[in-house]
């Protein structure tokens, strides 16, 4: 079976993890800050805070913005459930903004219209999570402008988009947002097994995130409520969590980062080959927005002639591990119980009904990709 995504682990990656295992620190040693500085400099961000998953990162980003009961977070329905669950963890409410039918990202036009209605009703969102679906950035200058007009904070969920560019900046630069979240799950572009990270340009947010990932504890006298009682002293100044990344994960991440540009180049080449090889088939192929470079986490086609379910089953039977991204979050039972229903976000639902994610990862060979294309041709006959 050719999977839809797969990690790429080199001998250097294994040696980097092995070296940590032989060292004094398995966690809270030097590898985490080293990984953070690699990410900060890659993204051109003042700060990077590594954690144990993107799910934790999203939760902490919401906490750092003081999202709580009575507040509202909006995101795209075309995402992994974690982009919305972070609000529920904080006791806040969730709503969604439908997607653009070309990029499958949160639609800035619909966002503007929904904000106008929300303002009239007196219930504006405190946070909007902009998900860079498939590795292509959202229209961040439009979303950033709306955030200034309506006073909400933007968190970028760049779980798909490390190595992507928006305009002349790397995603993670936070030019139009307060924080950007990355995931290092093995199906993503760079892996630490489990892992996540937040970039920000804001010193106060970075300090808060560092505290929240470790129980809300600080050893910095400037953050304490009283003078330290001695050199052993620490204070828990708020309720935090154990969301720390290990040194083994961070060492793997730093080693992976040395190949990020090669990973992206290979993904881009595979996307261009798919574009060429699939052009004559009854499929909607991914559209690239101007001035953007996708990280190509996913290559999604929409089936216009053959029902998606039968296309999916034929491809799986042919040994092609296709997948579907995403079942709209508002249709999950947990969200239906909150009042959402079919028809609420028609663009995301129409897209979902036709979408299939084809195999896309740096280790996919041309021959394997040709095999995927042949199977797809047969399945569409
Ligand atoms: C994978 C993913 C997450 C969650 O990442 P974890 O590191 O597995 O917690 C969140 N949002 C999106 C869009 C994702 O694809």
Are residues 305 and 284 in contact, defined by beta-carbon separation less than 8 angstroms?
no
* Ligand 1 neighbourhood includes 55 CB (under 6 angstroms): yes
* Ligand 1 neighbourhood includes 80 CB (under 6 angstroms): yes
Query: pTM of the full predicted structure?
Result: 0.98
* Ligand 1 neighbourhood includes 82 CB (under 6 angstroms): yes
Q: What are all long-range contacts of 18-25, with beta carbons under 8 Å and residues at least 24 apart? A: 19/251, 20/247, 20/248, 20/251, 21/248, 23/247, 25/247
Chain mean pLDDT for the chain: 97
- DSSP codes of every residue in 305-329: SS-HHHHHHHHHHTTB--B-----G
For residue 57, give the ligand 1 atom closest to its CA: 9
Which residue of 133, 183, 188, 195 sits with most ligand 1 atoms within 8 Å of its CB, as the best mutation to test the pocket?
A: 183
Residue 214, beta-bridge partner list: 242
* Ligand 1 neighbourhood includes 83 CB (under 6 angstroms): yes
Please give the distance of CA 32 from its chain centroid, rounded to a whole number: 20
| Domains in the chain, CATH or no CATH each | 2-257 (3.40.640.10), 260-379 (3.90.1150.10)
Are residues 111 and 163 in contact, defined by beta-carbon separation less than 8 angstroms?
no
Residue 125 in 3-state DSSP?
coil
Overall average pLDDT of the 295-300 stretch: 98
What's the Rg (C-alpha) of the chain? 21
For residue 297, give the ligand 1 atom closest to its CA: 15
CA of 219 to the centre of ligand 1 (A): 31
pLDDT at 190 over 80: yes
Which residue of 58, 83, 193 sits with most ligand 1 atoms within 8 Å of its CB, as the best mutation to test the pocket?
A: 83
* Ligand 1 neighbourhood includes 300 CB (under 6 angstroms): no
* Ligand 1 neighbourhood includes 243 CB (under 6 angstroms): no
For residue 325, give the ligand 1 atom closest to its CA: 15
Would you state the pLDDT for residue 243? 98
Are residues 358 and 283 in contact, defined by beta-carbon separation less than 8 angstroms?
no
d(CA 5, CA 359): 6
Would you state the pLDDT for residue 291? 79
- DSSP codes of every residue in 66-109: T--TT-EEEE-SSS-THHHHHHHHTT-EEEE-PBPTTT-SB-HH
Question: pLDDT-derived band of residue 260, with 50, 70 and 90 as boundaries?
Answer: very high
d(CA 158, CA 262): 19
pLDDT at 313 over 80: yes
d(CA 129, CA 136): 15
Q: Report the relative pairing of strands 196-200 and 47-51 from DSSP bridges.
A: antiparallel
pLDDT at 89 over 90: yes
pLDDT digits (tens, 9 = 90+) for 136-179: 999 999 999 999 999 999 999 999 999 999 999 999 999 999 99
Which residue of 5, 51, 54 sits with most ligand 1 atoms within 8 Å of its CB, as the best mutation to test the pocket?
A: 54
What is the 3-state composition of the chain as percent helix, strand, coil, each rounded to the nearest 5? 40, 15, 45
For residue 133, give the ligand 1 atom closest to its CA: 13
CA of 129 to the centre of ligand 1 (A): 13
Would you state the pLDDT for residue 49? 98
Would you state the pLDDT for residue 289? 77
Buried-exposed string 158-168: b where 16+ CB fall within 10 A, e elsewhere: bbbbbbbbbee
pLDDT digits (tens, 9 = 90+) for 272-287: 999 999 999 999 999 9
Would you state the pLDDT for residue 290? 75
pLDDT at 245 over 80: yes
Question: How far does the chain reach from its first CA to its final CA, in angstroms?
Answer: 21
Would you state the pLDDT for residue 34? 98
Would you state the pLDDT for residue 29? 94
Question: pLDDT-derived band of residue 292, with 50, 70 and 90 as boundaries?
Answer: confident
Percentage of the chain exceeding pLDDT 70: 100
* Ligand 1 neighbourhood includes 137 CB (under 6 angstroms): no
Residue given tokens 């009854």 in the structure block: 282
pLDDT digits (tens, 9 = 90+) for 50-75: 999 999 999 999 999 999 999 999 99
| Residue with CA closest to ligand 1 atom 8 | 185
Among 168, 378, 243, 170, CA closest to 156: 170
Would you state the pLDDT for residue 307? 97
CB contact set of 125 (below 8 Å; sequence gap of 6+): 71, 72, 73, 74, 95, 115, 118, 152
Residue given tokens 């947002």 in the structure block: 177
Token pair recorded at residue 203: 């010193």
pLDDT at 86 over 90: yes
Rounded to 5°, the CA angle 240-244-247 comes to: 160
Would you state the pLDDT for residue 372? 98
pLDDT digits (tens, 9 = 90+) for 330-343: 999 999 999 999 99
* Ligand 1 neighbourhood includes 192 CB (under 6 angstroms): no
pLDDT digits (tens, 9 = 90+) for 21-58: 999 999 999 999 999 999 999 999 999 999 999 999 99
| Residue with CA closest to ligand 1 atom 5 | 54
pLDDT at 288 over 90: no
Among 181, 250, 233, 237, CA closest to 211: 237
Are residues 176 and 143 in contact, defined by beta-carbon separation less than 8 angstroms?
yes
Residue given tokens 């995301």 in the structure block: 348
Which residue of 82, 104, 184, 326 sits with most ligand 1 atoms within 8 Å of its CB, as the best mutation to test the pocket?
A: 82
Percentage of the chain exceeding pLDDT 90: 98
CA of 280 to the centre of ligand 1 (A): 33
For residue 184, give the ligand 1 atom closest to its CA: 7
For residue 188, give the ligand 1 atom closest to its CA: 1
């Amino acid at each position: 079976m050719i999977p839809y995504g797969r990690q790429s682990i080199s001998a250097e990656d294994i040696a980097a993890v092995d070296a940590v295992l032989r060292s004094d620190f398995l966690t809270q040693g030097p590898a985490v800050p080293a990984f953070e500085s690699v990410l900060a400099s890659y993204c051109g961000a003042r700060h990077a805070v590594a954690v144990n998953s993107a799910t934790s990162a999203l939760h902490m980003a919401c906490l750092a913005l003081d999202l709580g009961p009575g507040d509202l977070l909006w995101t795209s329905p075309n995402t992994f459930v974690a982009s919305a669950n972070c609000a529920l963890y904080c006791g806040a409410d969730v709503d969604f903004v439908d997607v653009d039918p070309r990029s499958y990202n949160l639609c800035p036009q619909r966002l503007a219209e929904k904000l106008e209605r929300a303002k009239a009703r007196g219930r504006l969102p405190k946070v909007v999570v902009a998900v860079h679906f498939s590795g292509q950035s959202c229209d961040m200058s439009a979303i950033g402008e709306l955030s200034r007009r309506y006073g909400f904070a933007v968190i970028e969920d760049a779980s798909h988009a490390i190595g992507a560019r928006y305009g002349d900046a790397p995603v993670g630069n936070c030019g139009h947002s307060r924080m950007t979240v990355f995931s290092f799950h093995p199906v993503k572009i760079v892996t630490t097994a489990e892992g996540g990270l937040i970039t920000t340009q804001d010193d106060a947010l970075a300090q808060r995130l560092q505290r929240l990932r470790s129980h809300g504890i600080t050893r910095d006298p400037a953050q304490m409520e009283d003078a330290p009682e001695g050199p052993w002293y620490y204070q828990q100044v708020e309720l935090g969590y154990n969301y720390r990344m290990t040194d083994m994960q961070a060492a793997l991440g730093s080693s992976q980062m040395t190949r990020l540009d090669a990973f992206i180049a290979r993904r881009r080449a595979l996307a261009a080959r798919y574009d060429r090889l699939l052009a004559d088939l009854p499929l909607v192929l991914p559209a690239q927005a101007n001035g953007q470079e996708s990280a190509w986490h996913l290559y999604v086609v929409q089936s216009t002639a053959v029902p998606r379910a039968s296309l999916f089953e034929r491809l799986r039977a042919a040994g092609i591990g296709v997948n579907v991204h995403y079942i709209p979050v508002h249709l999950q039972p947990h969200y239906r119980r909150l009042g959402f229903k079919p028809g609420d976000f028609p663009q995301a639902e129409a897209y979902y009904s036709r979408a299939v994610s084809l195999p896309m990862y740096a280790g996919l060979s041309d021959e394997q990709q040709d095999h995927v294309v042949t199977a797809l041709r047969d399945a569409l006959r």
